[in-house]
Amino acid sequence: MEVILAKQAGFCFGVKRATHLAFEAADRKGETYTLGPIIHSPQVVQRLEEMGVKVLGDVNEADAGTIIIRSHGVAAEELEAAVSKNLEIVDATCPFVKKAQEHVASLSQAGYDVVVVGDADHPEVQGIVSYATGKVYVVGCGDEAAKLPRMAKIGVVAQTTQSFENLKDVVNACLAKGGEIRVYHTICDATAVRQEEAKALAGKVDCMIVIGGFNSANTKRLAEVCSELLPRTHHIETASQLDPTWFSGVEKVGVTAGASTPKWLIDEVLDRIAEIDREKIG
């Protein structure tokens, strides 16, 4: 079998930075926590737990030590609470997410009603929204934006993993709603580039393996776009989930991974596929 690994598989810039900061903090002495899972990879979270880093659901569960702010960011109130408790803070918020939070804060202060383009249930969006001090709306698409009330000044910010097309649809709807629209293009193109490469790969292989957390939105979406082109697409978290029967009659396998998938998990999957291939021949 020929195995083709996507160039864009695995950690994006923000996740790489967050993971590096977290392992660095774990190496130091004292109590260390992350506020929510550091990234959407249960395996990375587990490895940090083995090093003594606890995942907290609420900042009030910690009284001393170091708290690591996860890559998706947290709500403004949570960060303030950590500061007021004198916890040492390691801010691993993705710098692109941080920008989006700052834009929401400055837009609110300048009197804009804020529209955030994104998934209201995603922790990144919940964090971004919390920086608004005035009116703020979360819309998932242009049709939802079309239902917004009229506003004098509208500020638009996007969840960093949104599609550019979706941002355009929302901006178009907002143009009809207000006299002034100020848009910050906060989309990180890592997600789009990864998806485009995965689609190209799915078009030329017999089977696709997509590696990443089942709780990772970008990995789920990656598996979806591949499935649409190639039904023999499988989303797994670890090598142990590979089923040898998936590779029966397969000549070419494509492998890609979400933005929160570490290199070691990808390597384990590649090793296991090679093993399955040897078993097929033998």
Instruction: List contacts with a second copy (CB under 8 A).
Output: 164, 167-168, 171-172, 175-176, 178-185
| CA 215 from centroid of its chain's CA atoms | 10
122 annotated ligand binder: yes
216 annotated ligand binder: yes
Of 124, 228, 237, 279, catalytic: 124
Catalogue the E-assigned strands of the chain.
2-5, 32-35, 53-56, 66-69, 88-91, 113-117, 136-139, 153-158, 180-184, 207-211, 233-236, 252-257
Query: Closest distance between a second copy and the C-beta of residue 225, in Å?
Result: 21
Listed residue (247, 251, 252, 255) closest to 222, CA to CA: 255
Residue 168 tokens, joined:
């355009």
103 annotated ligand binder: no
Query: Closest distance between a second copy and the C-beta of residue 153, in Å?
Result: 10
Contact (Cβ atoms closer than 8 angstroms) between residue 220 and residue 40: no
260 annotated ligand binder: yes
Longest dimension (CA), the chain: 71
- Closer residue to a second copy, CB minimum distance, 172 or 241: 172
- Closer residue to a second copy, CB minimum distance, 180 or 271: 180
- Closer residue to a second copy, CB minimum distance, 64 or 176: 176
- Closer residue to a second copy, CB minimum distance, 178 or 258: 178
Query: Closest distance between a second copy and the C-beta of residue 176, in Å?
Result: 7
Query: Closest distance between a second copy and the C-beta of residue 177, in Å?
Result: 9
CA distance 62 to 86: 10
Q: Which residues pair with 153 in a beta bridge?
A: 180
124 is catalytic: yes
Q: Name the 3-class secondary structure at 37.
A: coil
CA distance 178 to 100: 21
Instruction: Tell me which residues are annotated as active site.
Output: 124
Binding residues for isopentenyl diphosphate are 40, 72, 122, 216, 218, 260
Annotated binding site for dimethylallyl diphosphate: 40, 72, 122, 216, 218, 260
- Residues annotated in a binding site: 12, 40, 72, 94, 122, 160, 188, 216, 218, 260
